[in-house]
Amino acid sequence: MTGRLPALLAALGRRLPSERLADLVHHLNAAEGPDSPLLDRWSAGHPAAGLSVHLSMLRKAWRDESPQLPGAALALSLATAAAAEEGMDPPAELVVSGPTSPAIPVRLTSGIAVDVIRSARESLLIASFAAYGITEIVAELRAAAERNVRIDLLLEESTAAARAFSPLGEQVRIWHRTDGADHTSLHAKVIAADRHTALLGSANLTGRGLSRNVELGVILHDSRTVGRLVDHLRWLTGPDGLLRRA
């Protein structure tokens, strides 16, 4: 295989959870070529954000570059790449707010948050229950918007978290719970850059949460795990999710 096809296969393998990956391998094994209706049905049954687009790109590269290859060849490549990654421990780092200790090497939440935002090249997905006193974060988001990063903020409406980001105006998209989600609250705390890095933890986007409160978190660099997280957050903002544009 040459051209874009190997890279698209590898990226799809990293993106899919193991059960979906096994199902796709099964369908590829039965597909005679890129135009097989089996793949249309598989795509229709897996509506995760952007997945059908990714599969369409894969099928186009297959059609353009190696149409003679049977689906079984792609299935074997996909399964082999997934098996190679299974033995790798996803890299992760611990992060803290408040006092540090000599027990384990950690990084401070405030600095990590800035690093993750700066690492984004295409998109940022940020969720927080509360937000205030974060001048530096707002400045970093403005800089990200100016380099054409798409920014979505998933915020709890009852805490008026959106006010902290009002200086950004239309440079960001803000999402709140739908009217039908009155008995829930948006309590997640996440900063996800593209599909490669995510900061998860107990800290809200507040000055105290990022620096003085005793908070714990983890930063993930595993694109497969981060990709699943991004897909879930995107689903929350989709037609079947619990969030609406503010």
Q: Which helix (H) or strand (E) holds 244?
A: strand 243-245
pLDDT computed for residue 234 by the predictor: 93
What structural domains and CATH numbers belong to the chain? 5-86 (no CATH), 92-245 (3.30.870.10)
pLDDT computed for residue 53 by the predictor: 81
pLDDT computed for residue 185 by the predictor: 86
- Other C-beta atoms closer than 10 Å to the C-beta of 80 total 12
Q: Report the predicted TM-score, pTM, of the whole model to 2 decimal places.
A: 0.68
Q: Which of 228, 206, 223 is nearest to 215 (CA)?
A: 206
* Torsion sign, CA atoms 55, 81, 38, 237: negative
Tens-digit pLDDT string for the chain (246 aa): 568 888 888 887 777 777 778 888 999 999 999 999 999 888 887 766 567 788 889 999 999 998 898 999 999 988 887 776 665 555 678 888 888 776 666 778 898 999 999 999 999 999 999 999 999 999 999 999 999 999 999 999 999 999 999 999 999 999 999 877 667 888 999 999 999 999 999 999 999 999 989 999 999 988 888 999 999 999 999 988 889 998
Grouping H, G, I as helix, E, B as strand and the rest as coil, residue 108 is strand
pLDDT computed for residue 146 by the predictor: 97
CA distances from 5 to 62, 79, 181 (A): 6, 15, 42
CA distances from 92 to 106, 174, 199 (A): 11, 28, 10
pLDDT computed for residue 174 by the predictor: 97
Token pair recorded at residue 62: 């297959």
Q: Which helix (H) or strand (E) holds 124?
A: strand 123-128
